[in-house]
Structure 1
Amino acid sequence: MSFFNKVLASIGIGGAKVDTKLEKPEYTAGDIMKGQVEVCGGSVEQQIDSIYLTVYTTFIRESDDKKYTDYASIKKHKLNEPFKIGANETKVIPFSMELPLDTPITYGNTRVWVATGLDIKNAADPEDKDYIEIRPDKMTAAVLKEVEQLGFRLRQVECEQAPKRIGSRFPFVQEFEFVPTSGPFRGKLDELEVMFLSQTKEKAELLIQVDRKAKGIGGFLAEAFEMDETFVRLTVTSQDVPKLNEKLKQIIAKYV
């Protein structure tokens, strides 16, 4: 084991590499994600302190009236205890990890990926990145479906920087933006935004933004100063699902 090879490995040349192979590329939020991590030794023996999987997503952050695409960690999972990998040796480590129920849905510009990293002392840490598609869980799907049943069309989905006052556990919140195209709210609302603040399998806390359509000079002034927007917090449980359409209709109608 030459000194020169050790130096090269310390800066990532000829060092260990990592490759994560997922069982499938698409998951529902809350699923168990399975796969295996393949670690391939480089030109010298190296100490692997840990292997970690981190689920990331993108979100829009505003600063000085400009928008930037940033990223945030949703979950980090450590796979192993320290071990050594010899030169040209290969180790395969199976894993399973539960995706959070509030993992963002990959719709529009939202991206979700799994980053695999090797923590190697005194060396560059190799990484691997695997993009995955995320579909909504049953509760989220039920809410979005019932909003559409009220005559709304989903126009845009985006993860945006979350104001501290709304209490999101992430630095972002995913917004589902709807516009009324038919039904009781057509011509009365400009748009409706639905945000999921926290979720379990049996319950979801929502924040709904109702944006009323401007009427007359007073309405236009209210719209100019964003006084036409109302925020409503509500909790939806699995028991609410059969009557969810009527519940949402009544809540939205209060602010039209």
Structure 2
Amino acid sequence: MVFKRLLGSLGVGGPTVDTVLVPGPTAPGGTLSGQVHLKGGSGDFDIEHITMELVARVEAEHEDGEDHGVVVFDQFVVGGGFRLVQGAEHSVPFTVTLPWETPVTELYGQGLGIVLGVRTELSVAGAKDKGDLDQLTVGPLPVQEAILEAFGQLGFGFKSADLEYGRIGGTGQQLPFYQELELTPAPQYAHAVNEIEVTFLATPGGMEVVLEADKRGGPFSGGHDAVTRFTVSHDGVHHQDWNTLVDGWVRQLVEHTSSYADHAPYDSGHGHNHGHDYSHGEHHSGSHERSGPGMGTVVAAGAAGLAVGVVGGMVAAEVVDEVGDFFEGDDEDEGGED
């Protein structure tokens, strides 16, 4: 519906493509539906494939600093195998399933500054060209919303969100990047940590919750990061005391942070890692590290709970509009996603 344009490589008079998504947010692991509208050009064209790509704007660290890049994180063929005659109009309905690790772009209807897009491409008689780019809006799963609501009830505030290129070792992460939600500490934990970063790694059977605390350094010691991982189920969301559970997670994270500081004065910066499974009552531990760190986003929100709106930077639609050309012309970054 936005960014509709002529397929440049086909020349003036080529077909145009316009993808219209069903209004409203979808969810990780949920379905995305809509229609691809084609309009014939000044001649007949054989439409071999209609391909949809899910793209994300991510941050990556390299030797010269930090950059933004575009990653294609899923691809679907939704149609093709027909001739589009001169001037004809043709619509192709589609329904695809999003990856379970698809980042959340909004919370309580407020944008988080995360940029996701759906890019539609045509393969016409052996040629391929980008056709249309649309903003993708993703809301949280019930268990994700419950956890974030608990953080808000406990006094944590939303600071920023970003997508970081890299993997978290020791987890079941599938995508080549992960989402971090940065939270300001609740008053009762402000003496111990500067911020807490939350990462959700959802699967059909449950979800890993990775918490990382940026520890405050004392006058004679520097700060360091500690990482703890928990596993929860999608079931029974409304029967769980999330405030108590999440507060217990944070207490363990802070205790592990303090304990590690006492026993590792020469911390190498890799953090202290623990794992807990709250879906089956099991306890397990493992070591994992975050790789490919990046910087925070330009969108910041206030600290009066997680339901606050964006108060600085650009709203999501404006971000997508600004980076439209960036999405379309960043093929070199896309090639480095593997």
Instruction: Quote the residue 2:76 is aligned against.
Output: 77
State the Cα distance separating 1:152 from its structure 2 match. 1.1
2:139 pairs with one of 135, 141, 146: 135
1:254 pairs with one of 243, 252, 255: 252
Bigger-Rg structure (1/2):
1
1:118 pairs with one of 102, 111, 122: 122
Question: Could you tell me whether the CA contact under 8 Å between 2:9 and 2:129 is conserved in 1?
Answer: no
Instruction: Quote the residue 1:45 is aligned against.
Output: 44
Structure with the bigger RCO (C-alpha within 8 Å, sep 6+) is 2
Question: Is residue 199 of structure 1 aligned with residue 197 of structure 2?
Answer: no
The 1:197/1:46 distance shift into structure 2, 3 A limit, reads: same
User: Structure 1 stretch 229-238 or stretch 158-167: which is displaced more?
Assistant: 158-167
Question: Could you tell me whether the CA contact under 8 Å between 2:119 and 2:130 is conserved in 1?
Answer: no
State the Cα distance separating 1:55 from its structure 2 match. 1.6
1:157 pairs with one of 151, 154, 161: 161
Question: Could you tell me whether the CA contact under 8 Å between 1:101 and 1:137 is conserved in 2?
Answer: no
State the Cα distance separating 1:250 from its structure 2 match. 2.2
State the Cα distance separating 1:42 from its structure 2 match. 1.2
The Cα offsets for residues 35-59 of structure 1, whole Å up to 9 and x where unpaired, read as 1111111112111111111221111
Q: Secondary structure at the match of 2:169?
A: helix
TM-score when normalising by structure 1: 0.84
Aligned length: 240
1:213 pairs with one of 202, 216, 221: 216
State the Cα distance separating 1:77 from its structure 2 match. 1.4
The Cα offsets for residues 82-111 of structure 1, whole Å up to 9 and x where unpaired, read as 111111121111112223332212243311
Instruction: Quote the residue 2:232 is aligned against.
Output: 236
Structure 1 portions without partners, runs of 5+? 1-7
The 1:124/1:235 distance shift into structure 2, 3 A limit, reads: closer
Question: Could you tell me whether the CA contact under 8 Å between 1:17 and 1:126 is conserved in 2?
Answer: no
Instruction: Quote the residue 1:185 is aligned against.
Output: 189
Q: Secondary structure at the match of 1:206?
A: strand
**RMSD of aligned Cα (Å):** 2.3
State the Cα distance separating 1:239 from its structure 2 match. 5.1
Instruction: Quote the residue 1:12 is aligned against.
Output: 11
CA distance in structure 2 between the aligned counterparts of 1:36 and 1:197, rounded to whole angstroms: 29
Question: Could you tell me whether the CA contact under 8 Å between 1:55 and 1:73 is conserved in 2?
Answer: yes
CA distance in structure 1 between the aligned counterparts of 2:168 and 2:125, rounded to whole angstroms: 37
State the Cα distance separating 1:32 from its structure 2 match. 2.3
Instruction: Quote the residue 1:5 is aligned against.
Output: none
State the Cα distance separating 1:166 from its structure 2 match. 5.0
Instruction: Quote the residue 2:26 is aligned against.
Output: 27
State the Cα distance separating 1:28 from its structure 2 match. 3.3
State the Cα distance separating 1:161 from its structure 2 match. 1.3
The 1:76/1:17 distance shift into structure 2, 3 A limit, reads: same
The 1:89/1:126 distance shift into structure 2, 3 A limit, reads: farther
The Cα offsets for residues 188-246 of structure 1, whole Å up to 9 and x where unpaired, read as 2111111112333x51112111222222302x2xx2xxxx2111111012457413322
Q: Secondary structure at the match of 1:79?
A: strand
Q: Which has the higher strand share?
A: 1
CA distance in structure 2 between the aligned counterparts of 1:149 and 1:197, rounded to whole angstroms: 22
User: How much identity, in percent, do the aligned residues show?
Assistant: 26
1:172 pairs with one of 172, 177, 185: 177
